[in-house]
Structure 1
Amino acid sequence: MSLSHITRILDQIVRIVAMIGCTAIIVLVIVTVYDVLTRYFGVPKVFGLNSTQLQESQYWAHATLFAFVMAWAYTKQTHVRIDLVRDLFGRRAKYVIEMVCILIFLMPFATISGVYSWQYAVRSFASGEVSASTIGLTNLWLLKSTLVVMFAMLTLAGISHFLKCVDGLLGNHDDDPTAVSNAIGGGH
């Protein structure tokens, strides 16, 4: 029995979150253009915004984009690999290497970081944390919560990737080069 149905669902969840995060690039562009227009061309600031808030919102949009998209990039095998040694091994060994690395490195990192990020965001919310700047943005917990989303999605992506490797070891990818590439990455 193939695990591809489960991995498709997990990857779809990660993809949906990433697409939501991609809207942050639109916000980033709009806020950056607006900030430039208000600074250099005299366009008035609306809604009581100031330059500090505009600059901080650019930072927030960039951080949100990265946090929401990182796990999706992992599912697409776009992460950095150092394959000098791994490429010497056969396909089955690559599946095992991927699985061991997910279990030893990725999952503990994502889990521990997720727990600490949750505590970090909760403390920020409970204390009513605001920007260090007296005229900056409020509700800093919203920004810190993006870390929780990032590590939760990374955990889902790690589980999906692990299951893809299990499927590969069971021989369910033997006739599908795309599935092999999705599980253990492609060539150079």
Structure 2
Amino acid sequence: MSGRLASYALRLSRLIDSANALLGRSVAWLSVLLVSLTCAVVVLRYAFGIGATATQELVMYAHALVFMGAAAWAVQRDAHVRVDIFFRRQNPRRQALTDLLGTLLLMLPMCLFLAWTCWDYVAVSWARGERSADAGGLPFVYLQKSIILLLVGSLLLQALSQIIKTLCVLTGHLSTHLQPDHAEAL
């Protein structure tokens, strides 16, 4: 990979990382909403005997958005689940090769499989204007199902970013593809 190509590719990678970080940080704030709404549902039900179907469904929607919307951000920050008995002891080039192979052989095929299997599922929901089956439920189930495609799209973009960074490490244009530990910034 030439220096100029690496420079352009790294700019693209940084753009993808910035977009996924913005998405991840934004949906992380929905956790506050999840706690608040869950408390409201419990208080309404047990203190006042009022069912809140729409609020319960909103909690489900927010829950899905938190986990699926922040998945690519977790990959970017190396905060996903990893069995790293050997990974942390490897040098940066071996780590890059391990992550490149994992991205190419596991993450990309999984994303493509999800995209292929979920596209019709989401499209049919949109075509029908799918609504909640429960009385008093939310009228836009198709939006919740679309979160799956958000997951797929953001993970595919993050896979591209990971591929760029790992190739840059393997070709000597970067010293490491891993971000420094930002756990204290959460």
Q: CA offset at residue 86 of structure 1?
A: 4.4
1:36 has 2:37 as partner: no
Q: CA offset at residue 41 of structure 1?
A: 3.3
1:109 has 2:115 as partner: no
Q: Secondary structure at the match of 1:25?
A: helix
CA deviation string 1:16-53 (max 9, x = no partner)? 2223323422332332232233223339x7xxxx4222
Distance 1:24 1:122 in 2: 26
Q: CA offset at residue 180 of structure 1?
A: 4.3
With structure 2 as the length reference, what TM-score do the two structures score? 0.81
1:9 has 2:2 as partner: no
With structure 1 as the length reference, what TM-score do the two structures score? 0.80
Q: Secondary structure at the match of 1:98?
A: helix
What is the aligned partner in structure 2 of residue 151 from structure 1? 152
What is the aligned partner in structure 2 of residue 128 from structure 1? 129
**Amino acid aligned to 1:26:** V
What is the aligned partner in structure 1 of residue 184 from structure 2? none
Q: Secondary structure at the match of 1:182?
A: coil
Distance 2:152 2:64 in 1: 13
Q: CA offset at residue 69 of structure 1?
A: 0.6
The alignment of Structure 1 onto Structure 2 pairs a total of residues equal to 175
Unaligned stretches of 5+ residues in structure 2: 182-186
CA deviation string 1:45-66 (max 9, x = no partner)? 7xxxx42222221111111111
Q: CA offset at residue 108 of structure 1?
A: 1.6
Q: CA RMSD in A?
A: 2.5
What is the aligned partner in structure 1 of residue 64 from structure 2? 63
Distance 1:181 1:149 in 2: 24
What is the aligned partner in structure 2 of residue 21 from structure 1? 27
What is the aligned partner in structure 1 of residue 75 from structure 2? 74
Q: Calculate percent identity across the aligned residue pairs.
A: 26
